[in-house]
Structure 1
Amino acid sequence: MNWCILIPLLVGFICAILGYLLGKYLGKEENEKIDVDVWKNKVAKLESDLKACKERHDLIPFNASEAKAIFGRKIRENDLTVIEGIGPKIEELFNNQGVKTWKELSEMSVQKCQQVLDDGGERFKIHNPGTWPEQAKMAYEGNWKELLEWQDELKGGK
């Protein structure tokens, strides 16, 4: 056998193994650094989202037992049908427009409420949403007694 061929093959094989091991070791450190940076970015984004969510939803806790005691029936949180003049079909119209909470409804203008009704078709145009945002605000803030007293004065959401 010719040693002249064997020595370059052996040196090439050793260099290949060393290159592989060095690449794996050095690449691992770089990948770990990239992974840490990726996770730091993800955590920062989640913290930012959480902060924005908290600012957007200054939540007032819902007290179901208090609502039940005053209304005499079980009240689900953000049930828009609690508002005098809103039934299941109108609630569905608002939900389809992205309005799913008392807070969201309380922040709408009466004109926007009317637009949702108008977009629902002729059968909904007869409803008067003039008090709905105010009623929703009372529900959101947990002013159940005042809401019930006001609703007793209202007729058909007017």
Structure 2
Amino acid sequence: MNWCILIPLLVGAICAILGYLLGKLLGGGNDNDCEDRIAKLQADLEACRKSRVSLESDLKTTQASLASSLTAASTGTLVAFDAAAAKAVFGKKIKENDLTVVEGIGPKIQELFHNHDVKTWKALSECTVDKCQSVLNSGGERYKIHKPGTWPKQAKMAYEGKWEALLKWQDELDGGK
């Protein structure tokens, strides 16, 4: 027998045995392991789906609660206009949401604010001074000279029905400045 042929056959057999053993050791895989992993992944997927449904339900509940809270808050802070109290303080009839009650705002400036969807004392009280100035600037050169620094605060006082405090403050102001 020729030893030259026997050595490669022996080396090949040893490599095959070692390859098989390493595959079993490192791969560790048989069909049962794959089926177990698939079953675990499917269970995890189902748990995620249930969690998503639960979270969506919680989100809808929270949104509904928030919407009702906002509605309650917006209607709860509404201050009723008392024309008699305003007339008693100012000595003349005051219309609700008449922006000319604010010192420094006349009919033309009121019209500018109405054109910019600022039609109530509350809306004016929520404006920034910069927003008021941009409304004035939109009217042209003759409106740019006005100083709206106190207008939002005056409008808030009118909105809240603080007529005496408003009149006292306006007596101290010079054309709304």
Aligned positions of 1:102-117 closer than 5 A: 102-117=121-136
Q: What is residue 36 of structure 1 aligned with on the other side?
A: none
Give me the identity figure in percent: 65
Shift of 1:54: 5.5
Structure 1 residues 52-73: Cα deviation after superposition (integer angstroms, max 9, x where no partner):
6654453100000000000000
Q: What is residue 124 of structure 1 aligned with on the other side?
A: 143
Structure 1 residues 42-99: Cα deviation after superposition (integer angstroms, max 9, x where no partner):
xxxxxxx998665445310000000000000000000000000000000000000000
Shift of 1:120: 1.0
Task: Give me the CA root mean square deviation.
Answer: 1.8
* Greater Cα radius of gyration, structure 1 or 2: 2
TM-score (normalizing by structure 2):
0.59
Q: What is residue 148 of structure 1 aligned with on the other side?
A: 167
Distance 2:114 2:147 in 1: 18
Structure 2 residue runs without a partner (length 5+)? 1-66
Q: What is residue 101 of structure 1 aligned with on the other side?
A: 120
Distance 2:74 2:154 in 1: 20
User: Are residues 50 and 73 of structure 1, via their aligned partners in 2, closer, same or farther at CA, if it must alter by over 3 Å?
Assistant: farther
Aligned positions of 1:8-157 closer than 5 A: 55-57=73-75, 58-157=77-176
Partner secondary structure for residue 81 of structure 1: helix
Partner secondary structure for residue 86 of structure 1: coil
The residue type paired with residue 83 of structure 1 is V
Count of residues paired in the alignment: 111
User: Are residues 69 and 111 of structure 1, via their aligned partners in 2, closer, same or farther at CA, if it must alter by over 3 Å?
Assistant: same
Q: What is residue 12 of structure 2 aligned with on the other side?
A: none
Structure 1 residue runs without a partner (length 5+)? 1-48
Higher relative contact order (CA 8 A, sep 6+): 1
Distance 1:99 1:55 in 2: 21
TM-score (normalizing by structure 1):
0.66
Distance 2:72 2:106 in 1: 30
